Structure 1
Amino acid sequence: MRKPESNLLSTLHAREPGETCDSKTEYWHKEHCCLYCQPGTYVLTHCTTPHTLGRCQPCPLGEYAPHNKLEVCRPCTQCRREQVMLSPCWSYVDTECQCQEGYYCATPDCETCQHCSKRCPEGEEILQACNATSNIVCGAPDQGHTSGADSVHLPFLDFGLWILGVFVLIWHCTGGIG
């Protein structure tokens, strides 16, 4: 089965005989290719000559445009009550929000942060603490080890801390580097 020519071209898109757009820097509008506006601006008027820039206008305060063949800027996202702002909205990038401590959301386009679970079912322990993108992970307790619901048991971490402690003790007893 033969794929259409437009699927075979990775960075050039054929539109009419002899007319191609560079998908990284241009977009197709009506009869020809126009250069993208810079991020943080939108297309006020499209180009009238192939492979040129139309008229671009800066986004108004409270709006952004990441890539630009957009004819309007997008409104900035407002973080919800159960979220914290990681980075503010700028004219070229939207606000970045994340669930605050005690909440999580497993989807990238998070609509609602969920409360983290506080404990595991009977006979299981917390293997991974709740974080902004996942709830606690529960599992069977390790044999020979006890851990409370608030701790995470990672055997390799215990060993690594033990080695570090021995190193610090030796370094301290020998007077350090000298």
Structure 2
Amino acid sequence: RFSLFLFTVVLLPVLSGAGLAADDPTYRRTDPVTGQQLQCKNCPPGTRLGAHCTSSRETDCVPCGPGLFTEFWNYIPNCLRCGACSDHQRVVRPCNGTVNTVCECEAGFFWDQHFCRRHTECKPGHGVKASGTPHRDTVCELCADGHFADIRKMHAACVTHSACETDEQLVLPGSRWHDNVCATCDQLTQKGTGTHMFTIT
């Protein structure tokens, strides 16, 4: 009797751990029939639990179907549903059974508190210090003296006022929102009469 008992004690742990690699993730479970503590193998990414292991059978894992995934080793009964991108987002990586859908804000938007917001447009006299990305808003700065940001361009940085050419005269000094306006004598007089108009906005 003692020999039979010893054989049973030694055999049961071998059966409960049969087929397990040393680094396979496991979970503990009590066999409802024998009351034995089992070390069951987890299901790999891309699958879910079909049936728990027993003292004579390994864990049964079932592949996730279309539109479903599991990213980690698990023993959950149902795969997770793939996520969908929201407004103003694009798919960076589609759901493939082992990873969820990866989304990113489309051009001109950035992620802020659970939704995509449009990048800030710098005010007149302010230029772009750091361009916006899908994860960060545009950073604006006030243009320093002698610099301007072209208000005709949505995302212009502050740049130095242009210098007039040697044959030009300064007609209108630059400001923080427009460049110096320069012109030659011919442009100003137009054959000696009249006034030349310059558009700065």
Q: Which amino acid aligns with 2:118?
A: H
Instruction: Tell which structure's C-alpha radius of gyration is larger.
Output: 2
**CA displacement, residues 31-86 of structure 1 (integer Å, 9 cap, x when unaligned):** 44322211100011122249x84100000110001112222100001112311000
Match of 2:66 among 61, 70, 73: 61
RMSD of aligned residue pairs (Cα, Å) = 2.9
> Paired residue for 1:9?
none
TM-score (norm 1): 0.60
Please give the alpha-carbon distance, in whole angstroms, between the structure 1 residues aligned to 2:128 and 2:143.
8
Which SS does the other structure have where 1:71 is aligned? coil
Pair 36,123 (structure 1): closer, same or farther in 2 beyond 3 Å: same
For residues 71 and 127 of structure 1, do their structure 2 counterparts lie closer, same or farther at Cα, with a shift above 3 Å needed?
Answer: same
Q: Partner residue of 1:118? A: 121
Is there any run of 5+ residues in structure 1 with no aligned partner, and where? 1-21, 155-178
Aligned pairs for 1:94-105 within 5 A:
94-105=100-111
Structure 1 residues 34, 57: closer, same or farther in 2, change over 3 A?
same
Percent identity between the aligned chains?
24
Structure 2 SS opposite 1:92: coil
Q: Distance in 2 between matches of 1:145 and 1:62?
A: 54
TM-aligned CA deviation for residue 29 of structure 1: 3.7
1: CA distance, partners of 2:158 / 2:149: 7
Which residue is equivalent to 1:87? 93
Give the structure-2-normalised TM-score: 0.54
Inter-partner Cα distance in structure 2 for 1:140 and 1:79: 36
Segments of 5+ residues of structure 2 without an aligned counterpart are 1-21, 31-36, 160-201
Match of 2:43 in 1: 37
